[in-house]
């Protein structure tokens, strides 16, 4: 089936009605193997939601062990059976397996595939005024690679020797040697297969996003009239295209070391009574390759969140986002710097300390554009006219957690301080607050906000309020105490924290953390019930329910293939004319022409 964009020259003939020339699509073509970006975005969302539930269950299980070590839990046995939870007590190898797969799923499948995949696919064509992505075929493939990668990752939980268990960072030699830990057998092979396919999915998607944004903007949609969501998704895609291939390279070298006797990462190893023959390799090479992706990856996670926050905040504060150009500039600065800070994950790796100090410098530099964004968000609220739709609560929560988590990053960026807390719960608290809280809260906000666009209905706001406050309070309840445990020297990835008298004094914090975690995870049921109920029975939405300016709200309530039944819209102004003085309505869609003598703030006069 030919793609729209390929068969029609999109840029030149948008003044006449666009006719659909192909026959009616079958159910499979419309809803399963769909090439429509809106269907693909929902496919990403549903798959990511499923994966997130699985990963959340995993974290609940290992939090039970951490708060009440050695206690028998029937639920542990229910999920893990006799093999991995004999008598209801978690097996130490499976503990590491759950921790590994939890991290892998959350970082890659939820926060990259789920966040970028859902919102880039949904919003890019709609907000730039295109019929669909530049290549709907590659877009469809990007989802199906994502699904296959997800399935393989889930299958890896069920193999006899267990899933990959070397942490989501899978450093060799632990991840290279099945003799070192059972999960480094078949489980690790499946992990590598899954992630390789995931990288393919990301690249296909990312290339599409970039090309669509650069080439398929509608008439009048200059780069400086694009909503910040699009800027964010563009920059995210560029980050991904440049950094994921390096992870792929790291994985290939690891596959070779595991299966073909090479020694990229291995040297001087004695295991199982045998001196292995590999010499000359270095695990530190893997760390460099991994973190060269790993650091940009966290910005790939947070950037779409930035875009979503900007959009939802301006709509619901009825005010332009403060400092549109500064927001773009700061995202560009963050993206550039993201490539030269990876070594701050490696201060204790044994690498040359001078190299470490270079990374300290660049990492603290990256704090500056991040701070600017936070200040701009706060100023957007100042003297606003704030409507507290659930999505607004979520993005305010996302800003709060970005501030909290970002500030502890300052400690970790400082190598001399990092060596006191690297690998402890301090790090775990930091990255969960910025990724698990900030990005996830923004993602929830995005779901509530664009739900009418996806499904033509509203989600229930009362349930939304409960969902937000329970999630937000439990989230801080989990991760705030965790900082103290880390500062007290408790390492991460420890099966049991109460073997050491020194840690006993803080064991009560482990209990508090696990209790909040359980309540927090259960609170998500409210969201799921609301989400699925509202898809079918939510109150019907109108065309522009939030009185927003961006182009997605100018399509029919639930747009069909091709998005606009008539010609593509033309854009005359930037998207942030909210509460513009001298107007009687507090919003002016981008499709409304400028009046005589009206200044376009987008021109930054």
Partner 1 sequence: MINLLAYLALVLALILVFQLMRIYQLSAELKGKHVGKADDNDNRSQGRVMLIFVFVFFAGLIWLLFDVRGKMLPPAASDVGVISDNVFMFNWVIIFIVFFITTFMLFYFGYRYKKQKDSKAYFYPHNDKIELIWTVVPSIALAVIIIYGLSLWAKMTGTPDTKALVIQLYAKQFDWTARYAGADNVLGKSDYRLIDDASNNTVGMDSTDAAGWDDIMVKGEFHIPVNTPILFKCNAREVMHGVYFPHFRDQINCVPGITTELHFTPTITTDSMRKITHDTAFDYILLCNRVCGSGHYNMPMKVVVDSPDEFKAWMAKQHPFFSHLYDMHHKQAVATAMK
Closer residue to partner 1, CB minimum distance, 36 or 287: 287
Triad 479, 482, 486: Cα angle to 5° = 145
> Which range of residues in 2-10, 40-48, 189-197, 261-269 is near partner 1 by CB under 8 A?
261-269
Q: For the segment 125-144, give every residue that binds partner 1 (CB under 8 A).
A: none
- Closer CB to partner 1, 30 or 493, in the complex: 493
Binding of partner 1 at residue 428 (CB under 8 A)?
no
- Contact with partner 1 (CB under 8 A) among 56, 110, 130, 181: 181
Binds partner 1 (CB under 8 A): choice among 6, 72, 499, 594 = 499
Q: Is 481 in the site for partner 1 (CB under 8 A)?
A: yes
Give the footprint of partner 1 on residues 66-95 (CB under 8 A): 92-93
d(CA 457, CA 449): 11
Q: Which two tokens stand for residue 222?
A: 């200059």
Per-residue x/- track, 322-341, partner 1 (CB under 8 A) = xxxxx---------------
How far apart, in whole angstroms, are the C-alpha atoms of residue 466 and residue 134? Answer: 40
Distance of alpha carbon 414 from alpha carbon 136, whole angstroms: 45
Q: Which residue has the tokens 């406050």?
A: 469
Rounded to the nearest whole angstrom, what is the least distance from the CB of residue 578 to partner 1 in the complex? 7
Determine, following the binding rule CB under 8 A, whether residue 378 of this chain makes contact with partner 1: yes
Cβ neighbours, 10 Å, residue 149: 25
Q: Give the one residue of 27, 270, 584, 597 binding partner 1; rule: CB under 8 A.
A: 270
Binder among 161, 224, 262, 282 for partner 1 (CB under 8 A): 282
- Tell whether residue 541 is a contact of partner 1 (CB under 8 A): yes
- Is 398:438 a contact under the CB 8 Å cutoff? yes
Closest to 48 (Cα-Cα) out of 113, 143, 107 = 113
594 in contact with partner 1 (CB under 8 A): no
The CB-of-268 to partner 1 minimum distance in angstroms stands at 4
Mark the segment that binds partner 1 (CB under 8 A) among 40-48, 107-115, 462-470, 590-598: 462-470
* Stretch of residues binding partner 1 (CB under 8 A), selected from 108-116, 439-447, 466-474, 556-564: 466-474
> Site for partner 1 (CB under 8 A): which residue of 2, 268, 560, 595?
268
Q: How far is the CB of 112 from partner 1 (least distance, A)?
A: 23
Q: Of the two residues 52 and 315, which places its CB atom closer to partner 1 in the complex? A: 315
# of chain residues touching partner 1 (CB under 8 A): 135
Greatest extent of the chain over all pairs of C-alpha atoms, in Å: 85
CA dihedral 465→469→471→474, nearest 10 degrees, is: -160
- Residue 401 C-beta: closest distance to partner 1, Å: 10
Cβ-contact 575, 320 below 8 angstroms: no
CB 34 within 8 A of CB 40: yes
CA dihedral in degrees (461, 537, 121, 574; nearest 10)? -50
Of 240, 294, 456, 538, the one binding partner 1 (CB under 8 A) is 538
> Does residue number 575 form part of the binding site for partner 1 (CB under 8 A)?
no
Q: Cβ contacts of residue 203 below 8 Å, gap of 6+?
A: 240, 241, 244, 245
Q: Which stretch binds partner 1 (CB under 8 A): 17-25, 109-117, 266-274, 556-564?
A: 266-274
How near is the Cβ of 218 to partner 1 at its closest, in Å?
Answer: 23
Nearest by Cα to 180 from 263, 284, 85, 274: 274
Distance of CA 432 to the CA centre of its chain: 12
CA distances from 277 to 271, 283, 329 (A): 11, 16, 51
Between residues 207 and 459, which has the closer beta carbon with respect to partner 1?
459
Contact (CB, 8 A) for 188 and 100:
no
Token pair in block for residue 579? 């509460």
Q: Identify the CA nearest to 487 among candidates 414, 417, 569, 386.
A: 417
Full DSSP string of 41-59: HHHHHHHHHHHHHHHHHHH
Residue 285 interacting with partner 1 (CB under 8 A): no
* Binding status of residue 522 toward partner 1 by CB under 8 A: no
Among 36-44, 222-230, 241-249, 382-390, which window interacts with partner 1 (CB under 8 A)? 382-390
Cβ distance to partner 1 smaller for residue 137 or 519? 519
> Binders of partner 1 among 102-121, rule CB under 8 A?
none
Sole binder of partner 1 in the list 68, 88, 167, 219 (CB under 8 A)? 167
In DSSP notation, 239-263 reads: HHHHHHHHHHHHHHHHHHHHHS---
> Applying CB under 8 A, does 283 fall inside the site for partner 1?
yes
Q: Does 59 bind partner 1 (CB under 8 A)?
A: no
- In the complex, least distance from residue 312 CB atom to partner 1, rounded to whole angstroms: 13
Q: Which of residues 390-409 bind partner 1 (CB under 8 A)?
A: 390, 392-393, 396, 399-400, 403-404, 407-408
Q: Considering the rule CB under 8 A, would residue 496 count as an interface residue with partner 1?
A: yes
Which residues does 449 contact at the CB level (< 8 Å), separation at least 6?
308, 311, 312, 315, 389, 391, 546
545 is a contact residue toward partner 1 (CB under 8 A): yes
């Amino acid at each position: 089936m030919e793609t729209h964009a390929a068969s029609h020259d999109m840029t030149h003939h948008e003044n006449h009605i666009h006719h659909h020339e192909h026959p009616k699509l079958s159910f499979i073509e419309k809803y399963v193997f769909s090439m429509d970006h809106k269907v693909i975005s929902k496919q990403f969302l549903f798959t990511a939601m499923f994966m997130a539930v699985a990963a959340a269950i995993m974290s609940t299980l290992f939090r039970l062990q951490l708060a009440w070590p050695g206690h028998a839990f029937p639920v542990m046995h229910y999920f893990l059976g006799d093999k991995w939870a004999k008598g209801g007590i978690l097996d130490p190898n499976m503990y590491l397996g759950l921790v590994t797969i939890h991290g892998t799923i959350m970082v890659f499948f939820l926060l990259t595939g789920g966040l970028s995949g859902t919102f880039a696919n949904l919003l890019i064509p709609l907000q730039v005024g295109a019929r669909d992505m530049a290549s709907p075929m590659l877009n469809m493939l990007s989802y199906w690679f994502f699904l296959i990668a997800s399935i393989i990752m889930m299958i890896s939980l069920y193999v006899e020797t267990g899933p990959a268990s070397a942490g989501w960072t899978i450093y060799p030699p632990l991840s290279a040697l099945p003799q070192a830990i059972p999960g480094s057998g078949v489980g690790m092979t499946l992990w590598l297969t899954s992630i390789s396919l995931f990288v393919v999915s990301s690249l296909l998607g990312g290339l599409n996003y970039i090309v669509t944004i650069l080439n398929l903007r509608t008439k009048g949609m200059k780069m400086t009239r694009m909503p910040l969501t699009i800027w964010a998704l563009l920059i995210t895609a560029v980050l991904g295209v440049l950094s994921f291939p390096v992870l792929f390279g790291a994985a290939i070298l690891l596959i070779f070391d595991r299966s073909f006797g090479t020694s990229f990462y291995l040297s001087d190893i004695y295991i199982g009574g045998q001196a292995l023959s590999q010499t000359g390799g270095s695990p530190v090479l893997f760390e460099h390759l991994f973190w060269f992706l790993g650091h940009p990856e966290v910005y790939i996670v947070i950037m779409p969140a930035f875009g979503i926050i900007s959009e939802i905040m301006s709509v619901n504060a009825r005010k332009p986002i403060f400092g549109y150009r500064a927001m773009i500039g700061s995202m560009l600065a963050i993206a550039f710097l993201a490539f030269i800070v990876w070594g701050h994950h490696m201060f204790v790796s044994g690498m040359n300390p001078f190299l470490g100090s270079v990374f300290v410098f660049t990492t603290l530099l990256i704090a500056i554009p991040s701070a600017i964004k936070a200040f701009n968000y706060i100023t957007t609220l100042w003297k606003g006219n704030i409507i507290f739709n659930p999505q607004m609560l979520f993005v305010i929560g996302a800003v709060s957690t970005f501030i909290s988590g970002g500030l502890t990053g300052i400690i970790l960026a400082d190598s001399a301080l990092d060596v006191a807390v690297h690998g402890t719960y301090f790090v775990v608290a930091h990255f969960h607050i910025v990724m698990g809280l900030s990005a996830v809260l923004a993602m929830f906000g995005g779901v509530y906000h664009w739900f009418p666009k996806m499904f033509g209905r509203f989600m229930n706001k009362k349930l939304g309020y409960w969902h937000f406050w329970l999630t937000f309070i439990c989230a801080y309840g989990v991760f705030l105490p965790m900082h103290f445990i880390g500062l007290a020297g408790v390492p991460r990835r420890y099966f049991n924290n109460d073997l050491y008298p020194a840690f006993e004094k803080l064991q009560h914090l482990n209990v508090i953390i696990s209790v909040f975690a359980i309540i927090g995870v259960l609170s998500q049921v409210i969201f799921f019930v609301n989400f699925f109920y509202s898809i079918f029975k939510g109150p019907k939405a109108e065309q522009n329910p939030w009185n927003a300016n961006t182009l997605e709200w100018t399509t029919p309530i639930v747009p069909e293939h091709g998005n606009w039944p008539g010609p593509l819209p033309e854009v005359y102004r930037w998207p942030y004319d909210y509460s513009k003085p001298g107007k009687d309505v507090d919003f002016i869609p981008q499709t409304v022409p400028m009046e005589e003598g009206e200044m376009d703030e987008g021109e930054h006069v």
